[in-house]
Amino acid sequence: MSAMTRKGPHPALRWSLLALFGIFFLTPLLSMADFSTRNLIQGGRTGQAWKNLFQDDALYSAILISLGLALFTVVLMLLVLVPTMIWVRLRTPWAKGMMEFLCLLPLTIPALVIVVGLKGVYDWVTYFLSYVGLGESALALTFVYVVLVLPYSYRALDSAMSAIDLKTLSEAARSLGASWTTTIMRVVVPNIWSGILSASFIAIAVVLGEYTIASLMGYTTLQVQIVAIGKADGTTSVAASLAVLLLGFVLLMVLSLFGGRGRRTGATEDPVAPAPSVPASLSPRPQPGGNNHP
């Protein structure tokens, strides 16, 4: 994993591959953009479908719900995963395999099975949420979604944590007088920041794209609403889909920008001791959004 010094393919091959993939990915997007701006009745172009995104109340509230779900899922996922993963790495390394297995498990379970399995649990969830006035709220989906994003977020955080010497850094902080909270917030988090960002953005992408579970459990999220609209108004539903895709794309761009921030590789000044420092030897992290090495 650390020795990934590949020689790139021939430039011509590289560019033609890039062009091929560009066409492959852009064609559907352009088609969607084309379709969503068509005036199906009178012919020509119209921005009505895009206006509907904000004027259609049901769609607007579905957007808010999905964004809220994304936010809560990210926060809860980070609160659960980050301290647990740090703890396991430092204190119970033998449990790492088990934790990995548990975190990857949701990948292998079909959505339908998750829904059926969680139905009983969710009666309780809504029961307790009703005490804080959220009984019928779609935000209750947060809990399923946290489970759903675990595999992706775990991977992102795990590779960020592998890239630093977590044990030595936290022990150094501890010996300098830092409590566990201070150690995590001031030393660990800043050094796995790109992992936290990827984990968050992947979680957002998963939540914004999820349809099956929300629909089976009867909550009106953005995807559910898009499908509903699509039955009556094709262009608006395509506009909404495209908007979600573009949002995801923007998120990934932001991710690759921020992921590259704070990585400083400087020339080693003392030629007799060219020992690699921890951050200089960061292995490339799997980050959607592409290559962020300058």
Secondary-structure breakdown of the chain: helix, strand, coil percentages, each rounded to the nearest 5? 75, 0, 25
Q: Could you tell me which of 61, 43, 41, 59 has the C-alpha nearest to residue 51?
A: 59
Residues in touch with another protein (CB under 8 A):
164-165, 168-169, 171-179, 182, 187, 190-191, 193, 262, 264-275, 277-280
Q: With contact defined as beta carbons under 8 Å apart, do 285 and 163 qualify? A: yes
CB of 260 to another protein, least distance (A): 14
In this complex, which beta carbon is closest to another protein, that of residue 120 or of residue 271? 271
CA distance 202 to 209: 11
In this complex, which beta carbon is closest to another protein, that of residue 45 or of residue 264? 264
In this complex, which beta carbon is closest to another protein, that of residue 170 or of residue 223? 170
| Rg of the chain taking only CA atoms, in angstroms | 23
CA distance 280 to 197: 20
SS3 38: strand
In this complex, which beta carbon is closest to another protein, that of residue 192 or of residue 213? 192
CB of 290 to another protein, least distance (A): 23
Q: Quote the Cα angle for 28-33-35, to 5°.
A: 90
CA distance 103 to 7: 34
CB of 278 to another protein, least distance (A): 6
Contacts of 200 (CB under 8 A, 6+ apart): 74, 77, 78, 153
In this complex, which beta carbon is closest to another protein, that of residue 166 or of residue 251? 166
CA distance 288 to 100: 21
In this complex, which beta carbon is closest to another protein, that of residue 4 or of residue 267? 267
CB of 263 to another protein, least distance (A): 8
CA distance 65 to 137: 9
In this complex, which beta carbon is closest to another protein, that of residue 43 or of residue 294? 294
| b/e per residue 56-65 (b: at least 16 CB within 10 A) | beebeebbeb
CB of 234 to another protein, least distance (A): 49
CB of 173 to another protein, least distance (A): 8
In this complex, which beta carbon is closest to another protein, that of residue 60 or of residue 193? 193
Strands (E), 122-168: none
- How far does CA 187 lie from the centroid of its chain? 23
CB of 163 to another protein, least distance (A): 10
CB of 185 to another protein, least distance (A): 12
